[in-house]
Structure 1
Amino acid sequence: MTLSVSTGQVIDLRVQPVDEVLGRIERSLQVHLVPGSLVRKRRSVGARTDRDTWVRIERRLLDKISDQGWNGTETAARLEGIAQPAWHGCVVWRDQDEPVMWRADETDLLPCEPVGNAILSKTPELPDDWWAALNASLDALAGQSTRRIATPDTETITQGLVAESIRGVLSGDVDTTIERWVPAHADLNWANMTSPAFSLFDWEDWGNAPLGLDSANLWASSLAVPTLADRVRHERRADFESRDGKVMTLFACSKILGPYAHPEDPRLDPARRMAERVIQELQTS
């Protein structure tokens, strides 16, 4: 491998060389990656192919791969009633030099561009039928069944993680017990959805999660634009009005307000205000 890092070190694929990795993927999938189409992120790399598909490549540490595996994009292909790119195939291998695995999934191209960055700073133009498609997909997802457990940020979500995250950041005695677990995308933000045609992609972390996780995540990524955050709460109000949805709102707030919070993050104040409001609601319900 051209990647030269110490054992187990978390690396940034935006700057690390990946030529040998791309070559192996082209040989394994019998496809050619289009020059100039490479999109590099911290944990993943993507590229268009000469057969008008997309290949997403991820490097993951072994201790970040649970017993259920990390074939989220593959297993999501069986889900019904959800607007997502069709999955075609994959190649997976263990690195010979490092305690990591590589995975490349080939899917259809996205129907159009992503809405924006994970966290938006201005209101996107989203027609009513886009919101209807979002709601239909999220409701269809929550109505299905799976043995997978969601792994947001590659960390398996559990009752203990929810309680620890909330109590470690927010004050106030609140019962954080989750009553209902349903299938969730687990990484719902504006960078993982397209517009004007709605499509939801990047399914590597999906699985059972507390009711309302997806809605809370999308709301949190909208907080810098108050009208957008309000629209998310309106569209997904059934989630936010539920007890589990309120706990997930606190979970999302704890991530914004936690030890890695940026002092200039415009979401800090609205997250604090919402956390105080939800804590009071849970204490009096």
Structure 2
Amino acid sequence: MYSPPPDPDTEQRMRTHHARTAKALDVQVEPGAEFWGWAGRTLGAPARTTTGAPVWLRLVSAPEDKAAGKLWDGALDAQHAFGDLDGHRPALLAVHDAVDDGTAYRAELSVRVDEPVLSDDPILQHDLQLPDSWWKELSGSLEKVSAVDTGRVAVRQQYMDRAIPEFVGIPAPAVTRLSTAHADVHWANLIASPLRILDWEGWGRAPEGFDAATLYAYTLLRPDTAARVRETFPVLGSPAGLAAEATVCAQLLQTVSRGDNLNLADPLRNWSEELRRR
């Protein structure tokens, strides 16, 4: 979650359109809680339907000529592809589109999840005591995701060919199999009881094991839990998983080079050394 945008015009514009959308979808926003995305691009808040059902109203904005593509359609595409994923994905209930003064707005009304995420930070900062059943459900859910056919692309070969040599120091490994990935499985997108997987904007095809590698990367500060990730997802450390691991490692080392995720810098470099040895 981010702070409101520094530009007061953007803040007012998003709040105005969020309120208009609530009226259009016939929901009542609950006062006192709002969640901003980066630079005011999104604004979400809890709400209730006329029957009192708890829902989540999220508004995303973009210049009208850029209101398309993978991220824009991610939640809607995920609803069509996965539904509620056997209860592990908050279902999308309605979508409302509008354009005003050259800016496009998409509102997504979803089933509300009131349980807290496992971490406020994508990077796990404390060990978790999760039951075996939770790990089994997570593995099973991601396996179901991986089997869905889609034309969406989460990781492009061109990126792998460029970023893996630059940040990991090896040629991009051959991809033995592509599968469908959530593509952003980290601890701020996971809920424990019951298991929920949040934020489906960027899902698509990626090297086999990409979700497992992503979760592992965000667990590197907690070796015990990282070992549990490896145990749950045996693709990690295997020849089949090398392309996914190298891609995720490169992605996060790239963020480090830009000044983000600095507390992962040393563990990521150690991981890259392991990948080079493999």
TM-score, normalised to structure 1, is: 0.82
Q: Verify: 1:88 aligned to 2:93, yes or no.
A: yes
Q: Verify: 1:102 aligned to 2:101, yes or no.
A: no
More helix by share: 2
The one-letter amino acid of 1:33's match is V
Of 46, 52, 55, 1:53 maps to 55
Residue 75 of structure 2 corresponds to 73
Residue 35 of structure 1 corresponds to 31
Question: Per-residue displacement from partner, 1:196-238 (whole Å, max 9, x unpaired)?
Answer: 2101121111111221111111111111212222211211112
The secondary structure found in structure 2 opposite 1:70 is helix
In 2, are the aligned partners of 1:222 and 1:228 still within 8 Å (CA)? yes
More strand by share: 2
Inter-partner Cα distance in structure 1 for 2:47 and 2:89: 18
In 2, are the aligned partners of 1:159 and 1:178 still within 8 Å (CA)? no
Pairs aligned (count): 260
**Which residues of 2 match residues 1-285 of structure 1 at below 5 A?**
13-15=4-6, 16-17=10-11, 18-42=14-38, 43-51=41-49, 52-60=54-62, 67=69, 70-78=72-80, 79=82, 81-82=85-86, 83-98=88-103, 101-110=104-113, 112-116=115-119, 117-150=121-154, 157-172=155-170, 174-238=171-235, 240-258=236-254, 259-262=257-260, 265-281=262-278
Inter-partner Cα distance in structure 2 for 1:272 and 1:28: 50
Segments ≥4 residues shifted beyond 4 Å? 11-16, 61-69
Question: Per-residue displacement from partner, 1:78-106 (whole Å, max 9, x unpaired)?
Answer: 316451112101112344245xx322211
Distance 1:276 1:63, change over 3 A: farther
- RMSD of Structure 2 on Structure 1 (CA): 2.4
What is the percent sequence identity of the aligned residues? 27
In the alignment, structure 2 segments of 5+ residues that lack a partner are none
The secondary structure found in structure 2 opposite 1:257 is helix
Inter-partner Cα distance in structure 2 for 1:269 and 1:219: 15
In the alignment, structure 1 segments of 5+ residues that lack a partner are 1-10, 151-156
TM-score, normalised to structure 2, is: 0.84
Distance 1:139 1:56, change over 3 A: same
Distance 1:24 1:198, change over 3 A: same
Deviation at 1:47, TM superposition (A): 0.8
Distance 1:55 1:71, change over 3 A: same
In 2, are the aligned partners of 1:185 and 1:203 still within 8 Å (CA)? yes
Inter-partner Cα distance in structure 2 for 1:206 and 1:213: 11
Inter-partner Cα distance in structure 2 for 1:182 and 1:158: 13
Inter-partner Cα distance in structure 2 for 1:232 and 1:64: 37
Question: Per-residue displacement from partner, 1:4-30 (whole Å, max 9, x unpaired)?
Answer: xxxxxxx98544412212122112212
